[in-house]
C-alpha cells in the first residue's frame, strides 16, 4: 500500500515520460529515476542506446546535478541484433530520430543536463575518465552487449551503478541476460542492487 503510494508520488516527478516513444515500463522508468537520484553532485552518466529519449529523460530528472551522455547513432541501428533492427526501422518510419530526441528533451526542460554523442558506443569509451552510472540499452546481441560492458564498465567508479535493460532470466540469447549471468554476477566487483521489471541494476563495490 505504502509502496504503491510512493510509486504514484515518484511517477509524478517524471510525468512527462508517458508520451515519449520507447520501451520502458513505469517501474523501469522509476528505476532509472531513482538510481540517478542516488548519485552525488556532478555525476557522469553514460547511456548507450537513447532512441527518442524516454530513458534519458528519467535519468536527467533524477540527477541532482551532472550530465547524461546519450550515445546513439540515431539511425535505428540494431548492431548484431537484426530482429530489433527491423522493429526499430519500422517504428522510426521517416522520422528524424535525433530531431525527435532533442525536441523531447528541450520541451521537457532537461536538455541542459544532456550531451548528445551521435555514433556507435565503441567510438566513445575513451571520452570518459570516470562514470558514476552506466546504462546499457544499445546493441542487444551478446557480442554487442559484451563489448559495451567490456569497454565501459572499467570506467565505473566504486560505489557507482550499472544497469541493463531487457534482463529475462530464461532468455540467455539476449545480450543483457547473457552478460549479467556470465560476466557481472560472477565478478567480485559487483553486487546486485535491484530489479525493476526487466531493468537489472548492480552496484560496483571495488
Ligand X SMILES: C[S@@+](CC[C@H](N)C(=O)[O-])C[C@H]1O[C@@H](n2cnc3c(N)ncnc32)[C@H](O)[C@@H]1O
Identify whether the C-beta of residue 70 lies closer than 8 Å to the C-beta of residue 116: yes
Q: From residue 101, how far is each of 7, 88, 148 by CA, in Å?
A: 26, 15, 22
Interface segment toward ligand X; rule CB under 6 A; list 59-67, 106-114, 131-139, 185-193: 131-139
Residue with smaller CB distance to ligand X, 49 or 66: 49
Closest CB 67 distance from ligand X, rounded Å: 17
**Binding-site member from 48, 162, 179, 199 for ligand X (CB under 6 A):** 48
Indicate the helix (H) or strand (E) that contains 3.
helix 2-13
The 49-68 contact track toward ligand X, x by CB under 6 A, reads xxx--xx-------------
Closest CB 37 distance from ligand X, rounded Å: 17
Separation between Cα atoms, residue 5 and residue 61, nearest integer Å: 20
Q: From residue 144, how far is each of 26, 45, 46 by CA, in Å?
A: 26, 20, 16
Q: Which residues contact 116 (CB under 8 A, 6 or more apart)?
A: 70, 98, 101, 102
What φ, ψ does residue 93 adopt, rounded to 5°? 55, -130
Separation between Cα atoms, residue 149 and residue 121, nearest integer Å: 10
Closest CB 6 distance from ligand X, rounded Å: 22
Interface segment toward ligand X; rule CB under 6 A; list 7-15, 74-82, 151-159, 194-202: 74-82
Interface segment toward ligand X; rule CB under 6 A; list 3-11, 18-26, 38-46, 156-164: 18-26
Binding residues with ligand X: total (CB under 6 A) = 23
Residues that bind ligand X (CB under 6 A): 22-24, 48-51, 54-55, 71-73, 76-79, 88, 120-121, 137-139, 144
Amino acid at each position: 500500500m505504502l509502496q504503491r503510494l510512493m510509486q504514484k508520488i515518484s511517477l509524478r516527478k517524471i510525468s512527462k515520460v508517458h508520451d515519449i516513444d520507447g520501451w520502458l515500463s513505469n517501474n523501469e522508468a522509476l528505476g532509472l529515476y531513482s538510481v540517478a537520484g542516488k548519485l552525488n553532485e556532478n555525476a557522469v552518466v553514460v547511456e548507450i542506446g537513447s532512441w527518442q529519449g524516454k530513458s534519458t529523460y528519467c535519468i536527467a530528472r533524477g540527477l541532482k546535478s551532472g550530465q547524461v551522455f546519450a550515445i546513439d547513432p540515431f539511425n535505428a541501428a540494431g548492431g548484431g541484433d537484426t530482429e530489433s533492427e527491423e522493429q526499430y526501422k519500422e517504428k522510426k518510419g521517416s522520422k528524424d530520430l535525433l530531431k525527435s530526441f532533442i525536441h523531447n528533451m528541450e520541451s521537457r526542460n532537461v536538455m541542459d543536463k544532456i550531451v548528445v554523442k551521435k555514433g556507435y558506443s565503441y567510438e566513445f569509451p575513451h571520452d570518459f575518465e570516470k562514470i558514476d552510472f552506466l546504462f546499457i540499452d544499445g546493441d542487444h546481441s551478446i557480442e554487442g552487449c559484451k563489448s559495451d560492458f567490456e569497454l565501459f564498465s572499467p570506467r565505473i567508479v566504486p560505489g557507482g551503478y550499472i544497469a541493463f535493460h531487457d534482463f529475462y532470466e530464461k532468455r540467455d540469447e539476449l545480450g543483457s541476460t547473457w552478460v549479467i549471468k556470465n560476466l557481472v554476477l560472477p565478478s567480485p566487483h559487483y553486487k546486485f542492487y535491484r530489479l525493476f521489471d526487466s531493468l537489472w541494476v548492480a552496484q560496483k563495490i571495488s
